[in-house]
């Protein structure tokens, strides 16, 4: 397995690198955070070992950058920071495991093998499409047929739920629970009002209708 090791402590880096090479792995090693990010972006690694505190760019920032870029490589943090909050922060940012210094190489090798066996993480979906309707979740932008559509926050949330549920019939209750996060009075017209506004923006200016009403059942978005 090809492994990237980013560790600024010379003794630790040499110890880990020699152990990994002895175990039959290919290793790219660096002491600098910026160099580590460059290598991670350029190379295809079976696993990445990151120190938390690094010169140039800390390990957490590297992790966030490579995950934002779509990297699915398993990441193991090697760190002297052993606090629960620090470990949770790293795991929430996309780390697969944590190993606190000092450590035995046998444990490092076992943890690497474990995270390498896990199914590849799914890259986060950033774009949704239904027919010629497109939603960019990063830029919070909606386009249809190349024309930009301006939506209010709740309209965007409503359309996102429809697009993620393409072809499914969604009842009024489902829309209330998923888009408004709590139960309205069943007699409220908030859903109908927002559906009407959404239709006026994504359907009426175009030839093909995407948002359909299923009488006495709910609504569906389909091409």
Q: pLDDT by residue (tens digit) across 10-67?
A: 999 999 999 999 999 999 999 999 999 999 887 778 899 999 889 999 889 999 898 8
Strands (E), the chain: 2-6, 26-30, 47-51, 75-79, 97-100, 127-130, 133-136, 141-144, 147-149, 211-214, 218-221
Q: What is the pLDDT of residues 169-205, one digit of tens each?
A: 999 888 887 887 655 555 678 899 999 999 999 999 9
Q: Is 90 exceeded by the pLDDT of residue 223? A: no
Confidence class for position 222, pLDDT limits 50, 70, 90: very high
Helices (H) and strands (E) in the chain, counts: 8, 11
Minimum mean pLDDT among 115-119, 151-155, 198-202, 212-216: which range? 115-119
| Percent composition of the chain: helix, strand, coil (DSSP 3-state, to 5) | 40, 20, 40
pLDDT of residue 96: 87
Pairing of strands 26-30, 147-149: unpaired
pLDDT of residue 91: 79
Where does 2-117 sit in CATH, by number? 3.40.50.2300
Q: Please list the residue range(s) of the chain that carry CATH number 3.40.50.2300.
A: 2-117
CB atoms within 10 A of CB 113: 12
pLDDT of residue 125: 61
Q: What is the pLDDT of residues 137-173, one digit of tens each?
A: 878 899 999 999 999 988 999 999 999 889 999 998 8
pLDDT of residue 123: 47
Q: Is 90 exceeded by the pLDDT of residue 115? A: no
- Architecture per CATH, 127-221: Orthogonal Bundle (1.10)
- In the block, tokens 């609504």 appear at 219
- In the block, tokens 């549920």 appear at 165
């Amino acid at each position: 397995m090809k492994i990237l090791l980013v560790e600024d402590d010379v003794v630790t880096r040499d110890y880990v690198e020699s152990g990994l090479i002895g175990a039959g792995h290919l290793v790219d090693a660096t002491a600098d955070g910026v160099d580590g990010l460059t290598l991670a972006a350029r190379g295809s690694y079976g696993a990445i070992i990151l120190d938390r505190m690094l010169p140039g760019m800390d390990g957490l920032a590297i992790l966030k950058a490579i995950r934002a870029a779509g990297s699915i490589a398993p990441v193991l943090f090697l760190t002297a920071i052993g606090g629960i909050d620090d470990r949770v922060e790293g795991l929430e940012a996309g780390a697969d495991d944590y190993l606190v210094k000092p450590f035995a190489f046998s444990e490092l090798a076992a943890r690497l093998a474990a995270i390498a066996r896990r199914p590849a993480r799914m890259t986060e979906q950033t774009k949704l499409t239904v027919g010629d309707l497109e939603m960019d979740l990063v830029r919070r932008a909606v386009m249809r047929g190349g024309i930009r559509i301006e939506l209010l926050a709740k309209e965007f949330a409503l359309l996102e739920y429809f697009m993620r549920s393409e072809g499914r019939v969604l009842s009024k209750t489902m829309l209330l629970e998923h888009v408004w996060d709590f139960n309205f009075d069943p007699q409220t017209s908030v859903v109908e009002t927002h559906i009407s506004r959404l239709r006026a923006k994504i359907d009426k200016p175009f030839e093909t209708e995407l948002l359909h009403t299923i009488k006495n059942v709910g609504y569906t978005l389909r091409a």
